[in-house]
Amino acid sequence: MDKGLGKGLEAIFGEELVRENETVEWIHVEMIEANPYQPRQQFDDEQLQELAQSIEQSGVIQPIIVRKKGKKYELVAGERRLRATQLAGKETIPTIIREITDEQSMEYALLENLQRTNLNPIEEAQAYEKLSTALQLKQNDLAKRVGKSRPYIANMLRLLKLPQSVQKMLIEGQLSNGHGRALLGLKDESQIEPLAERAIQYFWNVRQVEQQVQQLNDNVSHETKKETPRNVFIESEEQQLEQYFGTKVQIKQTKNKGKIEIEFMTDDDLERILQLMKREQ
């Protein structure tokens, strides 16, 4: 068990997921509705079939967890077990009923999936975004909650900035999250999808994609310099500002006026930049 994720689960349900002296009820599978906070969108059919065969022979070893929802029940934990039970043709499943809030249900759906079966990169990123929004967590707090580093969370969330077509490539396993992060480095966003397609076609690893990104960016920079020769002083100041703020900075100057653009990716980045500005006042 991942230490960070384990602590997260214990914080929600106590040290044991199935507590001593807790009543297990056999509930009809048709009475159980899916968890709306389930981050997983795709399930491995082969793994489900194997689990269904195991259930046919030995039954469901660990009860699923549900909460009351009107006249029916809503699944909190154990979607693979529920799906496999239905696949095995069983009408009932061992179940524990608990009083659980929406917040707990959402958090557990994420943590259980991260702990037991890897989500694809986009599912994982969407789960972090949903959890952060619903619980109003900053990246540092979210990272602590799920047992990950803040840079890891930030990098995963950045994947949601990819075009939908490229996100689909990550969902289907054609590209890794490393490929996705490399593609986000392109200055010309219109080149992301074509480069992603070439990466799949030629079986490029992450390092090869990074090299292609660097080459394309150099070409963009070269064309920009040819079109609009820039003041050497301004370029030098841009570099110093980028080093200070730790992000991309552009100084745009016309004949009578100009502006400075400072790029930020997240609310945390914006807060960090603002603090640096205040420090100089």
Look at residue 19 in the predicted model and tell me its pLDDT: 62
What's the number of CA atoms in the CB half-sphere (13 Å) around residue 79? Answer: 23
- Is residue 209 domain-resident? no
Among residues 44, 61, 55, which one has the least CA distance to residue 88?
55
> What is d(CA 255, CA 228) in angstroms, rounded to the nearest whole number?
13
Look at residue 178 in the predicted model and tell me its pLDDT: 95
C-alpha distances (whole Å) from 243 to each of 186, 236, 259, 273 are 20, 11, 18, 12
- Is residue 201 domain-resident? no
- Is residue 75 domain-resident? yes
Poorest-pLDDT segment among 61-75, 183-197, 249-263: 249-263
Which domain, by its residues, includes 239? 231-281
pLDDT digits 0-9 by tens, 41-90: 667 778 888 888 999 888 888 898 999 988 999 998 888 899 899 999 99
Residue at which a domain ends, from 119, 137, 167: 119
- Is residue 210 domain-resident? no
Q: Does residue 4 surpass a pLDDT of 50?
A: no
Q: Does residue 261 surpass a pLDDT of 70?
A: yes
- Is residue 72 domain-resident? yes
Query: Model confidence at 110, in pLDDT bands (50, 70, 90)?
Result: confident
> What is d(CA 159, CA 125) in angstroms, rounded to the nearest whole number?
7
> What is d(CA 98, CA 105) in angstroms, rounded to the nearest whole number?
11
Query: Mean pLDDT throughout 188-216?
Result: 93
Q: Does residue 187 surpass a pLDDT of 80?
A: yes
Catalytic positions: 79
CATH at 37: 3.90.1530.30
- Is residue 160 domain-resident? no
Q: What is the residue-averaged pLDDT of the chain?
A: 83
Query: Mean pLDDT throughout 243-257?
Result: 81
What is the number of domains present in the chain?
2
pTM above 0.85, yes or no: no
Residue at which a domain ends, from 100, 119, 138: 119
Query: Mean pLDDT throughout 170-179?
Result: 95
- Is residue 143 domain-resident? no
Residue at which a domain ends, from 70, 103, 119: 119
Query: Model confidence at 8, in pLDDT bands (50, 70, 90)?
Result: very low
Look at residue 2 in the predicted model and tell me its pLDDT: 44
Look at residue 257 in the predicted model and tell me its pLDDT: 83
Look at residue 7 in the predicted model and tell me its pLDDT: 46
Poorest-pLDDT segment among 65-69, 98-102, 185-189, 201-205: 98-102
Look at residue 23 in the predicted model and tell me its pLDDT: 85
- Is residue 237 domain-resident? yes
